[in-house]
Structure 1
Amino acid sequence: MSGKKPNLLFDFGGVLINIDYQRTVEAMRRLSRAGSAIEFTQQSQSALFDLMETGRLTPPEFRAELRRHYQLEASDEALDEAWNAMLLDVPAERLAYVAELRAQGHQTALLSNTNQIHIEEINRRLHTQYGFRHGIADCLDRVFYSQEVGLRKPGPEIFAYALREMNWQAAETLFIEDSFQHIETARRLGLPTLFLAPPLTLTAALPAAIRAFPASIT
């Protein structure tokens, strides 16, 4: 593999976009009659959110289930605003760096656990801020959303799906992720990894990981 440029498989939240799960937890709590906290964190989540992230709930069904499970009293617009509160900014330097990597000959793809409401909001923001027509897909060779694939991390099936669709070999693909449970699956499947634990950022940590490839970066 000497001299071969690794394929780059990016997570979205915490890698390309900044996120803060607690902002959504608190926003939802404020809408709850009982002050209930939703079961949604970086490490784990309830089945309701799994269903939304694998496309088995429509946005109206998701909102109805949120209201029922957590005794929420809010309009659709208020629920969406609370659900999207975790989404922060997409720094321009990260997008520029990904563009630079593609220009250098790296193949790139996104592998993200996400849902229709978040996808639409991020695409709207990227269009407003950067003029993107197709959201983050404008920056990458391919985008794999759990919502559209019907699978989610940390299950190995979604990794296998992305590798097969891209015609990539695991050993030739660097996976960049900020959730360790997803890193563990990737490593079991033979992918070199970059665990982007805070305070590491993509632009600070990825250059060294590419130079060290194919060694795993912890």
Structure 2
Amino acid sequence: MIKNIIFDYGDIFINLDKPATARELHKLGIDDFTPEMVAKNQAYEKGLISTESFVDFYHQEFPNTTKKALIDAWNAILLDCPKHRLDFIKQLAKDKKYRLFLLSNTNDLHISWIQKDWGMELYDDFKVNFEQFYLSHEIHMRKPDTNIYEFVLQENNLKAAETLFIDDTAENTDAAKTLGIHVWNLMPGKEDVVDLFTHKKELF
């Protein structure tokens, strides 16, 4: 029986336009990520380098761009958080049947954009529903590395067999599954987290 639910953030609660950043970077003349860029992106997502250093790196690589254009392109992926999903998680927290956690690969630029776009009142209204709110740049780990799931389990004394992890990226759910965690690889546009208890009724 499931006692704990770990949710991803993007395309689980907040809608994403995943091709948008590549589309906007293309306009700036950036079409492919070199191995150095990929390493820099992952380091930034783990909070191992500052936002200033991250933006400076790209600005130095592509001096014809502006820092604002780079930041706007990076944040283009982020859209809205539908009210019905906020209502869902608030009701789930109110019911107190499950321990609720958020685990997201989120960098400082993205979370700052969300806080500004939503406003801190709405952001806090969402965040308060979770026992722990784990963002990769704050805990210096990222999915799909298994150490991030082990950390969440150990930190909160959770049993994998009693835990469900919901994420829209198969690579992430596959990694969690290797530890014995139940998973739902949610398909954005075809499935919605609010249908959890219908879609995964065999677990509850």
TM-score, with structure 1 as normaliser: 0.84
Residue 23 of structure 1, CA deviation: 0.7
What is the identity, as a one-letter code, of the residue corresponding to 2:138? Answer: E
Residue 19 of structure 1, CA deviation: 0.6
User: What residue is the counterpart of 1:173 in the other structure?
Assistant: 163
Helix, strand or coil for the counterpart of 1:86?
coil
Unaligned runs of 5+ in 1: none
Alignment match of 1:99 (pick from 72, 90, 113) = 90
User: What residue is the counterpart of 2:33 in the other structure?
Assistant: 39
Residue 136 of structure 1, CA deviation: 4.0
Residue 100 of structure 1, CA deviation: 1.1
Query: 5 Å matches for 1:6-155?
Result: 6-31=3-28, 35-39=29-33, 46-69=38-61, 71=62, 73-105=64-96, 106-127=98-119, 131-132=121-122, 134=124, 136-155=126-145
**Partners of 1:124 and 1:135 within 8 A in 2:** no
Unaligned runs of 5+ in 2: none
Q: Which moved more, 1:132-141 or 1:86-95?
A: 132-141
**Partners of 2:114 and 2:123 within 8 A in 1:** no
Residue 150 of structure 1, CA deviation: 0.6
Cα RMSD of the aligned pairs, angstroms, is: 2.0
Residue 126 of structure 1, CA deviation: 2.5
Deviations 1:9-55 (A, max 9, x none): 00011111111121111111212xxx222539xxxx81121011011
How far apart, CA to CA, are the structure 2 residues paired with 1:89 and 1:57? 27
How far apart, CA to CA, are the structure 2 residues paired with 1:59 and 1:17? 22
Deviations 1:45-66 (A, max 9, x none): 8112101101111111111222
Pair 1:187-2:202 in alignment: no
CA shift in 2, pair 1:39/1:93, >3 Å: farther
Residue 210 of structure 1, CA deviation: 4.6
How far apart, CA to CA, are the structure 1 residues paired with 2:148 and 2:20? 28
TM-score, with structure 2 as normaliser: 0.89
Alignment match of 1:157 (pick from 139, 147, 153) = 147
What is the identity, as a one-letter code, of the residue corresponding to 1:75? Answer: T
**Partners of 1:123 and 1:136 within 8 A in 2:** no
Paired residues, number: 200
Helix, strand or coil for the counterpart of 1:110?
strand
Structure number with higher relative contact order (C-alpha < 8 Å, ≥ 6 residues apart) = 2
Pair 1:213-2:194 in alignment: no
User: What residue is the counterpart of 1:197 in the other structure?
Assistant: 187
**Structure 1 moving runs of 4+ over 6 Å:** none
Sequence identity percentage: 30
CA shift in 2, pair 1:115/1:187, >3 Å: same
Deviations 1:133-160 (A, max 9, x none): 6474233221011101111000010111
Helix, strand or coil for the counterpart of 2:122?
coil
